[in-house]
Structure 1
Amino acid sequence: MKFDPDKIRENASEDFDRAWNDSAKYVKKPLFNERYPITSINYGKPHPVYDTISKLREAYLRMGFEEMMNPIIVDEQEVHKQFGHEALAVLDRCFYLAGLPRPNAGISDERISKIKEMLGDLSTEDIDIIRKVLHAYKKGEIEGDDLVPEMAAKLDVSDSLIVEVIDQVFPEFKELAPKAGKRTLRSHMTSGWFISLSEILKRREPPFNLFSIDRCFRREQQEDAARLMTYYSASCVIMDEDVTVDHGKAVAQALLSQFGFEKFQFRPDEKRSKYYSPDTQIEVFAYHPKLVGSNTKYSDGWVEIATFGIYSPIPLSKYDIPYPVMNLGLGVERLAMIIHEATDLRGMSYPQMELYSEWEMSDSELARHVEIDMIPESSQGREIFEAIVKQCETHASEPSPCEFPAWEGEIEGHNVKVSVIEPEEDTKLCGPAAFNEIVIYNNDILGLPDNKKWKKAFSNHSARTGVRFIEALAAKAASEIEDAVAKGDTEIETRARIIKTPAEINIKLSPLAQRYVTGKNKKIDIRGPVFTTIKTEIS
C-alpha cells in the first residue's frame, strides 16, 4: 500500500491533525496517546529462515515441481530399510518419541477412606465409578486431559477436588516416567521420501517432480554457530526411468541461480551414504559474489550449499519402487545465512535469545520508549497545557522580571488562574534549554536544541520524540493543578531550574529503553537550563 500522508490526514481525527508537522511531513510521537490515537505506521518483517523458505517454494514451483508433505514421525524399522548397516549410526542421531504410560491405579480400603475424607460420604456406587473411570483411562478409552472432568462429572463434584484426590491419593500419577517406543522424529527428509514415493506409486505413474520444505531433527552433541538440533531441509526428488546425475546438476543450477549464485562446482561427496548408489553422491559448491572478502570461511566466494544423488536400488526395492530416483537436498538455514549475511546459525534463527544474538534497537524504536510521565486528565487540564506552551513560545525571550497570564477558567467549581512567570531580574522568561527536544541519535537519548550543530540528529524524523522540555514541564504543571484543585489548595507553583535527569523535567523512559542503553554503554543526556515557572491561583 502506498504511503499517502494527505489521505491519512483526511481520515484522521482533528486531534491528530494538530500533531501533524506540515512542513516536515512526518508523524510525530503523540504527547498524549488518548488525544492522538495514530502514533506510527509499521510494516511487517519476515524471519530470515521463513523468508528463505518462501523464496525456495516459489523457485521450486517455477521449475515445475509439485509440493509434498512427507511424514515427520518415522518408525525405526524404516530407517533400517533405508540405511541398512548404517541404520544404527543414523538412529544414534535420532530423537525417539516417548510417552507417559497409563498407571494401573488400584483402590484399596485405605485409599477409599482417604477419598471419603476429601469428597464426603461416598456410596458404593460412587467408589465403583472411580474404579471404572480409572480402568477406562488405563485401557486408553479416556484420554489424559479428559480424566479429571470425566470423573468430576460422574461424581458431581468440582474439577479442583478431583485434582486434589489424584494428587494426594494416587502417587503413581506423579511418579510416572516417560517411556520411549520405536518411533523417531525424522532426521533426514529421505526417510519421508521413501515412504511417500512408495504410496504415490499405488495411485500414479511416473515421472514425478516433487519437493518438500520442512523440519528435520538431529540429536547433535551440542548446538553451535553452524548446527542446530532442528533445521529445515529443502528437498526434491525426480522419479523417472531416464533420470541421471545430470538431472541433479541441472536442478541445483536452476534452483540456486535464482538466489544470485553465478558459478557452480560439483564434487564427489566422501560421506557416501548407503541410500545413494555408488559414485552418484555429489556435493554442490556455488559461487556468490556477496561472500568474496567476507569475514567467513567462504571469503573466496565458494560455499557448499547442497547435496544430490541417485537413490540405491537396494532400499528402493524394499519399498517396491522399480524406478530410479534423483534426490537433492539443501539446508535452508545455510542458504538463509548467505542471503541475510548472518554469521551464526543460532543468532539468525533465534534473534530473540540473548544467549545467541546481539540486541539491536534502531533510533526509531528507542524513540517510542520515551514519553511524558505526568499528564493532565481533564479537558481543562489539557487546555492549560496548551496555553502554557503557547505563552512560553510567544514570550520566551522577554526580559525579566515578567509575568504572562496563560489560562483562566473553572475547574470543579473553582476559579483557576495560571500564569508563566520569571521573578528574577536580568534574565528571560524561559531558559536556553526550554525548547530542547528529546531525540535519539546513534542510540544515545539526548535533549537537543534544533540548530545547525545537531542537524544530523534532527534529520531522522522517526527518531524524534516530538517532546520538548517545555511541553513536558507544561504537562506536569497542568497535572499538578488538577491535583491541587482536588485537594483544595489555593496556590501552587511548578518550576524547572537546571535539569540534570529525565525525571526532573517529567520525562519517563521505559525499563526496556534504560536496560538497552545501559547495556550498550550509550548515553542518556537529558539536561540543561530551563528556568521556567508556572504559577497558579485557585479560589
Structure 2
Amino acid sequence: MKFDSREWLELVEKDFESAWLRSGDILTERSLNERYPLYQYDYGQEHPVFKTIQELRKAYLSLGFKEVINPIIVEDIHVKKQFGKEALAVLDRCFYLATLPKPNVGISAEKVRDIEKILGRKLEKDEIEELRMVFHSYKKGKIDGDDLSFEIAKALKIDDAKAVKIIELFPEFKELKPIPTSLTLRSHMTTGWFITLSNVADKMPLPIKLFSIDRCFRREQGESAVRLYSYFSASCVLVDEDVSVEDGKAIATALLRHFGFEKFKFRLDEKRSKYYIPGTQTEVFAFHPKLVGSNTKYKDGWVEIATFGIYSPTALCHYGIDYPVLNLGLGVERLAMILYGYTDVRKMVYMQDVVLSDLDIAKAIRIKEVPQTSVGFKVANAVIRTAEKHANEKSPCEFLAFEGELYGKDFRVYVFEVEENTKLCGPAYANEIVVYKNSVYGIPRNEKFKEYFENGIPTGIRYIDSFAYYIGKKVEEMVARGEGGVLRVRVVESPSDVNVTIQENVIRYIASKGGKIDIRGPMFVNVKVEL
C-alpha cells in the first residue's frame, strides 16, 4: 500500500480525523480497512522450489540429520576415482571451467605515441615505467582485471575513460581466449559427499547422518520440460558400521511422509552406477492422488521421486573412508512439480508461466477515487446508510442523507428517484465484487451465487460502497467551487461505472486464462448536492 508521510502530516495539520487517510488510489481510511480486510495485509510469495527446499530441510532436521555444504567446484580426478571406467561418460556431462590467461603486454615506441594522442601530451619516462609496472603486476596476478583501468588511471593521473581507451590500444586483451582447467562444476552430489566424508568420517561418532541441499550442474543437450542445466539435489548420507537397503527404505519413507505421501514402492534401478554396491541402487516410487488420471506418464498416480544405494567399498577406499555409507538423493524440482502441479520445469523455475490465485487478482481491484477529508468520508458513509435503509422505497421519493459544513459552506446531500413506480435504488445497487476461478463478477449475495462467495474471494466492495466514495470525493470538489449538482449511475456496464479499477496487467492475465470481468447490472442511484 502506498503511504507518503509528508502528505499524512499535512492532513494532520488540516484535520486531525483525516490523519487516517493514505495517499494513492487505494482504499484509505481506517474504517475502509475494517470494511474491506482484504487490503490490510500483503505477504510475499515463496518460489515453489525454495519452498520445497525449506520443507526438505525441516524433514531432514526432524530425522536427526546435520546440514552441511559440499564442494561445488571439484577436480575431475574425483570423478575418475568415484566412477572408474565410467568416468569419461560422466565427465562428458560435466561443465569444465576455463580461465582467461594474463597477457604479456609490451609498450613499444609506437604504442607510446598512440597513448600520447589519447592524453594530448607527451609521456614522461617515469610514467612509461609506471605503466609497464602496472601491466607487469597484472600479468603476475597482483592486479585483478576489474582494477586494471583504475591502476592505469592512477599511474598516469588521468580519468577512467581515458584509461579504458588506452587498454583498447593493446590487441592482446581483445584476442584473449579461455583456457580450460581440470576443474568441473559438480554434476552429482555424490562427488561432494566423498570429499566431505574423507575429512569427517574417521572423527565423528557413529552413526553419522548428514544432508545437503544445493545446486548441481549437468551439460544436457538442451533445456527441456523435464531437464535444466542447473538443478537442486536434496541428498543425505548415513555412515555406520552396518547399513542396509532397509535403512534406505526407512529414510525415504520418513522423508516423503513429511510431504503427505503414504504409499511407496521400491525397485532395483537398472542404471547401476559404479559407485554403488551392485544390488543396492534402488528407485523410490510414491503414490500421489493428484496425478491419477492426469495428462502425464504418471496418470496411475505412481511417480519416481528418489534413488538410494550403498557406496562401493572400492570407491570409498580411495578416500580413506572405512565405514559403509548409504546415500539417498532426490531432485528438488521434480518433487516441487508434483506438489504444485507443474508439467514443465522451465515454467516453474524460471517463472515463464504466471499463476495468480483468486486472492492475487482480488488484491488488484481498487476503489479508484476516495474523499480527501473526514467530511467527505462521512458523506460517503451517509449515502451508503441511506441506500441500505430506503433502497426498496417506492418512487418518486427523496431522502436527506447528510447535512453539514465544509470549507466554511453549508450543504446537504440527498438520495432521490423521480421516476414513478420504481424504487429508490435499482436491484444491482448491493451487488458485490467477487473473484472466482480467474474471473471477476459483480453479483448479489444470494443462494444462486453461494458457491462464488464460499469458494471464491469476496472483495467486500459493493456497487453502492465504491460509488458512495466517488460521491464523497465529488461533493468536496463541488462545495469547494461553490456549486451544487446531481451525480448518478444508471446501468453498470464496466468497473469504472462504479468507481472501481483493476490493474491492467491483471486484466491481461484474466484474458490469457480465459476468464472474464463481468461487473454489470441496473443500479439506478441518484444523488443531489445543494449548497
One-letter code of the match for 1:503? S
Instruction: Specify the alignment match of 1:436 in structure 2.
Output: 431
| Residue aligning to 1:532 | 525
Cα distance between partner residues in 1 of 2:466 and 2:52: 46
Please name the residue that 2:141 is paired with.
140
Q: Deviations over 1:134-190 (max 9, x none)?
A: 54444332334445566667777776x468647876787677665543211111112
**After superposition, what is the alpha-carbon deviation per residue over 1:185-208, rounded to whole angstroms, capped at 9, x for unaligned?**
111112112212222257557664
Q: Which residue of 1 aligns with 2:28?
A: 32
Identity of counterpart residues, as a percentage?
48
Deviates more, 1:51-60 or 1:469-478: 51-60
Name the residue aligned to 1:479.
Answer: 473
After TM superposition, give the deviation of residue 368 of structure 1 in Å: 1.7
Picking from 497, 520, 532, the partner of 2:490 is 497
Matched letter for residue 74 of structure 2: V
Task: Quote the offset at 1:523 in angstroms.
Answer: 2.2
Partner of 1:457: 452
Q: Distance in 2 between matches of 1:444 and 1:317?
A: 62
State the secondary structure of the residue aligned to 1:182: strand
Once residues 521 and 150 of structure 2 are traced to their aligned partners in structure 1, the CA distance between those partners, rounded to angstroms, is 65
**Aligned residue for 2:441?**
446
User: What are the superposed Cα offsets for residues 395-441 of structure 1, whole Å, 9 maximum, x if unpaired?
Assistant: 43444444444445454455544443434444443333223222223
Q: 2:515 aligns to what?
A: 522
1:322-341 residue pairs with structure 2 within 5 A? Answer: 322-338=322-338, 340=339
- Count residues in correspondence: 504
Mapped to 2, the partners of 1:436 and 1:253 lie a distance apart of: 51
Work out the CA distance in 2 between the residues paired with 1:483 and 1:105: 74
Post-superposition offset of 1:74:
1.0
Residues 328-337 or 378-387, more deviating: 328-337
Aligned equivalents of 1:46 and 1:237: distance in 2?
28
Change (3 A) 1:163 1:372: farther
Displacement after TM superposition at 1:44 (Å): 7.0
- Does residue 285 of structure 2 align to residue 290 of structure 1? no
Matching residue's letter, 2:518: D
Q: Is 1:195 the counterpart of 2:195 in the alignment?
A: yes
Query: Could you tell me how far 1:477 is from its partner in structure 2?
Result: 3.0
Instruction: Let me know the Cα RMSD of the aligned residues.
Output: 4.1
1:366 aligns to 2:369 (yes or no): no
CA 1:443/1:104 → structure 2, altered by over 3 Å: closer, same or farther? same
Please state how far the C-alpha of 1:502 moved relative to its aligned partner. Answer: 1.6
Look up the equivalent residue of 2:282 and give its one-letter code: E
SS at match of 2:210: strand
C-alpha separation between the residues in 2 aligned to 1:526 and 1:84?
A: 68
Q: Indicate if the aligned counterparts of 2:337 and 2:348 stay in contact, CA closer than 8 A.
A: no
Cα deviation 1:1-50 (Å, max 9, x = unaligned): xxxxxxxxxxxxx9999xxxxxxxxxxxx843676466345677655544
Specify whether residues 294 and 99 from structure 1 end up closer, same or farther in structure 2 by C-alpha distance, changes over 3 A only. Answer: farther
Q: Call closer, same or farther: CA 1:484–1:321 in 2, change over 3 Å.
A: same
Deviation at 1:500, TM superposition (A): 1.5
Give, as a single letter, the amino acid of the residue that structure 2 aligns with 1:140: G
Contact 1:15 1:36 in 2 (8 A): no
SS of equivalent residue, structure 2 residue 341: coil
Aligned to 1:386: 381
User: Within 5 A, what are the aligned runs for 1:20-419?
Assistant: 31-32=27-28, 36=32, 39-41=39-41, 47-102=47-102, 108-116=111-119, 132-147=133-148, 161=161, 165=165, 178-201=178-201, 203=203, 208-240=208-240, 242-243=242-243, 247-248=247-248, 251-252=251-252, 255=255, 260-267=261-268, 269-277=269-277, 279-286=278-285, 288=287, 290=289, 293-295=292-294, 296-300=296-300, 302-338=302-338, 340=339, 342=341, 344=343, 346=345, 349-350=348-349, 352-354=351-353, 359-419=354-414
1:88 Cα deviation after fit: 1.9
Corresponding residue for 2:12?
none
Instruction: Select between 464-473 and 301-310 the one with higher mean Cα deviation.
Output: 301-310
- TM-score if structure 1 supplies the norm length? 0.77
CA distance, structure 1, for counterparts of residue 163 and residue 324 of structure 2? 57
Contact 2:488/2:525 (CA < 8 Å) preserved in 1?
yes
The 8 Å contact of residues 396 and 429 in structure 1, kept in 2 or not, is answered as yes
- Unaligned 5+ segments in structure 2 are 1-16, 21-25
Secondary structure class of the residue paired with 2:187: coil
Is the contact between residue 93 and residue 218 of structure 1 (CA under 8 Å) also seen in structure 2? Answer: yes
What is the Cα deviation at residue 454 of structure 1? Answer: 2.7
Aligned to 1:27: none
1:32-72 deviations in Å (ceiling 9; x for gaps): 36764663456776555445444544544455544332111
* Contact map agreement 1:245 1:280 (CA 8 A) in 2: no
Task: Spell out, residue by residue over 1:464-499, the C-alpha distance to the aligned partner (whole angstroms, 9 max, x if none).
Answer: 22222223223223323444456x463443222222
Residue-by-residue CA offset, 1:308-340 (whole Å, 9 max, x unaligned): 3343344333333444444333333444455x2
Rounded Cα–Cα distance in structure 1 between residues aligned with 2:396 and 2:164: 76
* TM-score normalized by the length of structure 2: 0.78
Change (3 A) 1:479 1:115: farther
How far the C-alpha of 1:508 sits from its partner, in A, is 0.7
Change (3 A) 1:430 1:214: same
